[in-house]
């Protein structure tokens, strides 16, 4: 059964052949890759909202190189502890991109847990669903999530936007919100090439209303890269890619090897 609800009337779905149909007879076809597109056309600010194909492919290539594997492993260890006493748990990866972390978690946490993931970028969800088949993927906005109230035991948000009221609505009482955001030294060696004065990312973030912070973790490590394509992929998946003009890119790529700091804030909040 689909965990998702109708984006037009919020009732549950029943599946008939390759279509999900809600109580009010709204139809949504399941794409051949297995995902649902639940983003109403009038909710789009542009024709193709979210990360475009180039950013998504750069992110997939970089993540495949293993550059952020330590983060995936740290999250897996953390979630195992948070959910240790749960018989069942429904996890949601909000703004999941091409599904790298969702898939790592689905592969390392107990099989009895269920995983849903959404992103506003259709191309990202198409790639995600094509590659990983034990996760419920849908195209939807984090600002209007097609899931029932209090249906989530743990919501993960890695470098993605969200709305406080949706976090409050979706997560069960005593459930968890886990966020990953850039910490002060994140990608410092790239940012110092662009900015005269590099702004520090915050050392920590505040709990959203209705939540209490229960853990504040930091993951800081140097990434050693010797393949220029990996540096290009890392740049092209970041929001500051467009600030690298030809000259800056050439200067950076003239180096033979690179040491780039990765620095993440990982915060755990419990729903009051």
What are the residues binding ligand SAM (CB under 6 A)? 50-51, 59, 95-97, 100, 119-121, 124, 141-143, 158-161
Cα 223 versus chain centre, distance: 21
> 18-37: which residues touch Zn ion (CB under 5 A)?
22, 24, 26
Identify which of residues 97 and 146 has a Cβ nearer to ligand SAM in the complex. Answer: 97
Closer Cβ to ligand SAM, 21 or 261, answer by number? 261
Nearest-CA neighbor of 1 among 169, 139, 136, 148? 136
Residue of 9, 5, 26, 30 lying closest to 18 (CA atoms): 30
Q: How far is the CB of 72 from ligand SAM (least distance, A)?
A: 10
Measured from the CB atom, the residue of 144 and 251 that comes closer to ligand SAM is 144
Nearest CB to ligand SAM, comparing residues 25 and 126: 126
As a whole number of Å, the CA-based R_g of the chain is: 19
Check residue 6 for interaction with Zn ion (CB under 5 A): yes
- Which partner in Zn ion, ligand SAM, none is near 69 (CB below 5 to 8 A by kind)? none
Residue 267: contacted member of ligand SAM, Zn ion, none (CB under 5 to 8 Å, by partner type): none
Smallest separation, CB 16 to Zn ion (Å): 14
| Of 115, 118, 116, 177, the residue nearest 144 (C-alpha) | 118
Closest CA to 37 of 148, 151, 118: 118
Q: Answer with the entry of ligand SAM, Zn ion, none that 9 interacts with (C-beta below 5 to 8 A by kind).
A: Zn ion
Q: Are 174 and 194 in contact (CB under 8 A)?
A: no
Output DSSP code: residue 113.
S
Tokens of 197: 């004065």
- Dmax (CA) of the chain: 61
- Which spans of this chain sit near Zn ion (rule: CB under 5 A)? 6, 8-9, 22, 24, 26
């Amino acid at each position: 059964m689909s965990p998702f609800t109708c984006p037009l009337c919020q009732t549950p779905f029943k599946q008939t052949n390759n279509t999900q149909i809600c109580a009010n007879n709204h139809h949504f076809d399941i794409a051949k890759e297995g995902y649902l597109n639940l983003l109403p056309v009038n909710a789009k600010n542009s024709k193709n909202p979210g990360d475009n194909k180039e950013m998504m492919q750069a992110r997939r290539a970089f993540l495949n190189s293993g550059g952020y594997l330590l983060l995936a492993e740290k999250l897996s260890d953390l979630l195992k502890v948070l959910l240790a006493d749960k018989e069942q748990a429904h996890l949601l990866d909000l703004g999941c991109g091409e599904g790298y972390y969702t898939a790592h978690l689905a592969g390392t946490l107990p099989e009895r847990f269920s995983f849903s993931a959404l992103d506003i970028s259709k191309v990202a969800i198409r790639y995600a669903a094509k590659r990983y088949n034990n996760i419920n993927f849908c195209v939807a906005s984090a600002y209007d999530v097609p899931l029932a109230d209090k249906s989530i035991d743990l919501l993960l948000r890695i470098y993605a936007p969200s709305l406080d009221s949706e976090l409050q609505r979706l997560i069960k009482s005593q459930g968890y919100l886990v966020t990953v955001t850039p910490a002060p030294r994140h990608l410092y060696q790239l940012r110092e090439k662009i900015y005269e004065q590099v702004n520090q990312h915050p050392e920590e973030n505040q709990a959203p209303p209705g939540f209490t912070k229960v853990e504040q973790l930091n993951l800081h490590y140097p990434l050693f890269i010797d393949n220029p394509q990996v540096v290009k992929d890392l740049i092209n998946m970041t929001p500051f890619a467009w600030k690298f003009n030809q000259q800056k890119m050439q200067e950076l790529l003239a180096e033979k090897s690179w040491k780039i700091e990765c620095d993440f804030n990982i915060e755990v909040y419990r729903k009051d």
